[in-house]
Structure 1
Amino acid sequence: MHITLISFLNKRRSLYPATEEYNQQQLSAAAKERGHDLSIVNVGDCQLLLQAGASKMLYKSGDFPKTDGFLVRFSTSFGTHIEAMFVKQLTLDGYTVINPYEGLIRAKNKLRTLQLLAHHAIPIAKTVVIKSRSGIDRAVAELGGLPIIVKTPFGSFGRGVVLVETEKSLYSVIELILKYMALGTDSTIILLQEYIREANGEDIRAFVVGSEVVAAMRRTARGGDFRSNFHQGGTVENVHLTPEEHACAISAVRVLGLDYAGVDIIRSKEGPKIIEVNGNPGLEAITKATGVDVAGKIIDFTVEKIKVSREKT
């Protein structure tokens, strides 16, 4: 079977280009081990021809390469909603696409993710959404007081996430974020999230493929930092999920409409709470922490989904 990996990697924009190159290498190797061909197409080399009843993708000004299905490694950088239209076109053309366009767009926006999970009664870290300084005091009170976590709707690798411990620093951080957002095209929306003290700088990444948690790791922040991300210097180790954590992770991926994802969970006194869902999860940390061939799990799922799609047509 031939699989085409659509890469959104832009080395000039990406904070960790080597990380995404590692992900692609792992997926390519896993496909080869299973007797499949995997080619990588960068979205920067694609064009989209729009015409009545005959829109299609082009590649380097020629026809798009023939393939059985697509595996998408979606960028988490700003401004990729327009680029995501390429992924949407592949779906409109009848291809099997993993992860689907709709799921990627939902997961890219932290606000939309939390909104959907909350609507479906999936436990999340309590969050208040604000657009200005107005109502900050009420928001903090709803979250149980300081300290709180301040987030932007977009970002990855721990970017756009700040722990605020004093009222003075809270207003300073919010003013800075609002000014930064005003310079770009992003909506001035800020997420204020409860700080779960008992987590003590730890969270869990559950890696879901299809309807199965294939691997899970505990991430611990380095000294002096509250962010447990691997790329912020945190450490990782294999962890066993409770039945409730397992159910939360599976439900979150299903609600967002993703085929695979990394679900980030905090262990609180009240039980597990989801803080984020990553529709473009890295493979390096989870593979090293657990020893699981996560890339292989993704390839196996991709091949099976393509086969099922063929049987339906």
Structure 2
Amino acid sequence: MKGAIVINGYLDGKKFREPAEMLTEAGERHGVPMKTFLNSNLSVPIGDSDAFAERLGDIDFIIFWDKDVKLARNLEVCGYPVINCSEAIRICDDKALTHLTLAEYGIPSIKTVASPMSFGYPYQDILPDIVDQIGFPMVVKDCFGSFGQQVHMVRTMEELHEHAEGTVPKIFQEYIECDGRDIRVEVVGEKVVAAVMRTAAYGDFRSNATIGGIMEKYEPSEEEAQLAIEAASAVQADFAGVDIIHSADGPVVCEVNSNAHIKNLFDATGINAADCIIEYIIELIQ
């Protein structure tokens, strides 16, 4: 058995390379050779399986550690098993689609309003209506974004106009007070393999490690673990990092990440999710 890993060719930096390196090393430990490819080197005609074969060689599966959903779908069209699948990537990459999917499956999440499709026109005219529904404070997020970037706490109409300026698709969410903490649960093959408690840096409400959040090993409750498994299943993810916060009504899903960073998870827990992913794929493919 041989596998490939696809990463983005335009995002340079250690944090973008580490997951592929960890998966390659895990493959070696399990006797599964892995080779990494950049998405920028896999632009071939749609549906041309021969063109992919020339570039990828003899492989049995692809771990897709990127958000290039069109490439992932083209690989599927050409017969390659892609993990995570293109639909999981599409849903997780768009925060509005994530919450729509969670709602469809009855999975508790945060009260969310999605910005309208405006065809490139500003949509600030709807902001008073959003305030009526969500209230202040609220959290404003770009639909497409990672590592806690483009996430803002908004307390006034002036701040709302500032962070909803332009035409970028956004979601507007009820702010749930959680002392700057959330739980990241790593799910692989409908099993919880690791979890951490993340605490925001002083003065921030975002708990992402990339912007200063602290991660500590955490043992999720049965309810939290089941919620994470159901969320990953709903978005069709074989593996995912599910972010959970506690509301007055219990745990709710904040986000589902189709390629959550596994290096800081390893640093905090000592658990290498790359091994779990490779072991799952071996069982799945064989």
Which category describes the TM-score, using the shorter chain as reference length? over 0.9
RMSD value, Cα: 1.7
Q: Give the corresponding residue for 1:29.
A: 25
Q: Give the corresponding residue for 1:185.
A: none
Question: After superposition, where does 1:201-216 map in structure 2 within 5 Å?
Answer: 201-216=180-195
- TM (norm. structure 1) is 0.85
Q: Give the corresponding residue for 1:190.
A: 170
Letter matched to residue 140 of structure 2: V
Question: After superposition, where does 1:90-239 map in structure 2 within 5 Å?
Answer: 90-131=75-116, 132-143=123-134, 145-175=135-165, 178=166, 181=167, 188-197=168-177, 199-239=178-218
1:55 positional shift: 2.3
* 8 Å contact kept, 2:195–2:220: yes
Alpha-carbon displacement from aligned partner over 1:122-142 (angstroms, at most 9, x marks no partner): 000111123422332332232
1:290 positional shift: 1.4
* 8 Å contact kept, 2:138–2:154: yes
Greater mean alpha carbon deviation, residues 150-159 or residues 64-73: 64-73
Q: Give the corresponding residue for 2:66.
A: 74
Alpha-carbon displacement from aligned partner over 1:207-262 (angstroms, at most 9, x marks no partner): 01011011110111100111100000110001121222111111111111111011
* 8 Å contact kept, 1:264–1:274: yes
Q: Measure the CA separation in 2 of the matches of 1:290 and 1:262.
A: 14
Letter matched to residue 170 of structure 2: I
1:170 positional shift: 1.5
Q: Give the corresponding residue for 2:119.
A: none
Q: Measure the CA separation in 2 of the matches of 1:236 and 1:262.
A: 14
* 8 Å contact kept, 2:42–2:55: no
Alpha-carbon displacement from aligned partner over 1:54-84 (angstroms, at most 9, x marks no partner): 722536x945311111111114xxxx4xxx3
Q: Measure the CA separation in 1 of the matches of 2:70 and 2:50.
A: 10
Letter matched to residue 110 of structure 2: A
Q: Measure the CA separation in 2 of the matches of 1:238 and 1:138.
A: 41
1:47 aligns with 2:43: yes
Secondary structure, in 3 states, of the residue corresponding to 1:134?
helix
* 8 Å contact kept, 1:205–1:219: yes
Q: Measure the CA separation in 2 of the matches of 1:45 and 1:89.
A: 14
Alpha-carbon displacement from aligned partner over 1:185-206 (angstroms, at most 9, x marks no partner): xxx4321101111x01111111
* 8 Å contact kept, 2:262–2:272: no
Letter matched to residue 210 of structure 1: G
1:299 aligns with 2:278: yes
* 8 Å contact kept, 1:2–1:68: yes
Displaced runs of 4 or more, over 3 A: 61-64
Q: Structure 1 residues 57 and 209 mapped into 2: Cα distance closer, same or farther (>3 Å)?
A: farther
Q: Structure 1 residues 155 and 216 mapped into 2: Cα distance closer, same or farther (>3 Å)?
A: same
* 8 Å contact kept, 1:96–1:305: no
Q: Structure 1 residues 155 and 57 mapped into 2: Cα distance closer, same or farther (>3 Å)?
A: farther
Equivalent pairs counted in the alignment come to 280
Identity over aligned pairs, percent: 32
* 8 Å contact kept, 2:241–2:260: yes
Q: Give the corresponding residue for 2:267.
A: 288
Letter matched to residue 66 of structure 1: D
In the alignment, structure 1 segments of 5+ residues that lack a partner are: 182-187, 308-313
1:171 positional shift: 1.8
Q: Measure the CA separation in 1 of the matches of 2:234 and 2:37.
A: 29
